[in-house]
Amino acid sequence: MSNRYEEDLLKQQVLEIMNDEKAEKDTTEIEEREEQGWAPQPKKSPSRKKKNHKVLKMAGIMVLILLILIVLIIGTKPGRSIIYKSASTFASHNMNNEEIIKEYDAAGGAEHADGARHEDYVTNYLIFGIEEFGGARNTDSMMIASINTKDDTLKLTSLLRDSYVDIQGYKANKLNSAYARGGARLLVDTIEKNYKVQIDGYVSVDFKSFEKIVDLLGGVTIELGKEEAQYLNKTNYISQKKNRNVKKGVNHLNGNQVMGYVRVRKVKTLGGVNNDYGRIVRQQRALKAIFDSYKSPKNLFKILSVTKESLGYVTTNLTQDQIEKAMADVVENKITTLDTFRIPVDGAFDAPKKYNGITYPIVLDWDKNRVELYKFIFDDTEKEAVAALK
């Protein structure tokens, strides 16, 4: 038994010496590696590895789900319809339309004038600006915005405000006087009866609101001719004197300056267009400048804030469903072009000093102008337009 005990003791001493040597060797290796810039890392416990793996797995699943949702929303028509509905709800709730729709419906609602043409592939919206000076409430600018899903275009037709038209219940007069006599309902009815196109809804803004919208956008950039700049600086078209400091060339204009610019008609535009035609050119250039300013890179929250506040200055009878449809028509048909037009067309009107007691009206050749209007809005041939009018 003594021999067995001595053998066990000897084995234990040998093991201790081996362990001491291994520990010394490990320590030496660590010291050498530390001198080379290496630092020992604590080993992760199996439970920690497992936890990190679960977190990464969940993050991957969330990213995958998000990508699938984006594809479903943007990449499919049903998905995009969710966006249209949300956007139209936002727009409808922030515009002045609830009481306007009631008032419009009470005055005739969705009834349309006899002979006003309608096609399923075209939707027409009347856009007009209201001029309120000296107690008068005339429409200074009037445009028909047409979404055509047949040729996939957005078309903008400007109607000259001095056009001599028949106004139901009143003596024939200039187009811009209809609103003052019977509001938006009478203006829409007058356009439908004279121009023979159906108006599906309207959007309006007064001058003060127009200025505020431009200022919300931080102003817009417009190029002025020498005559335009000189005229604006010496007249009251720019109502605030402190803003009468524009110059020839490119200007960054505020709302008050842009308002003065779009009202000018007594001097030529940059490009040489004069009178009411010049005013229409300026209005179209101002609208394009506003669109360009709105499309420029901005903080997302800034865009939403500007949009929400701007919509508050807009008056419309469009319902949420109509706004949603307009959005869908433009996006689904990939409409990216804007074509512009003017009625009356060259060679199809007279401009006498006085006509039936009205001074300086524009008297249209209605047959010729309606044919040209149909060709532009409905993408008709000459023959098709003539046939449609009959």
Strand 173-174, strand 201-206: pairing: unpaired
pLDDT in tens, 67-90: 555 454 445 666 677 777 887 788
**Complete domains list, the chain, with CATH:** 53-94 (no CATH), 95-389 (3.40.630.190)
- Burial annotation 143-153 (CB, 10 A radius, 16+ → b, else e): bbbbbbbeebb
Global confidence as pTM? 0.73
pLDDT in tens, 86-144: 877 888 888 877 677 777 666 666 688 889 999 999 999 999 988 765 555 778 889 99
Q: What percent of the chain has pLDDT over 90?
A: 41
Query: Regarding predicted confidence, which is higher, 15 or 169?
Result: 169
Ordered alpha helix ranges (H), the chain: 2-35, 46-75, 77-94, 98-106, 178-195, 207-216, 226-234, 255-263, 275-295, 300-311, 320-332, 366-377, 382-389
Say yes or no to pLDDT of 57 above 90: no
Question: How far is 149 from 326, CA to CA, in rounded Å?
Answer: 11
Whole-number pLDDT of residue 280: 86
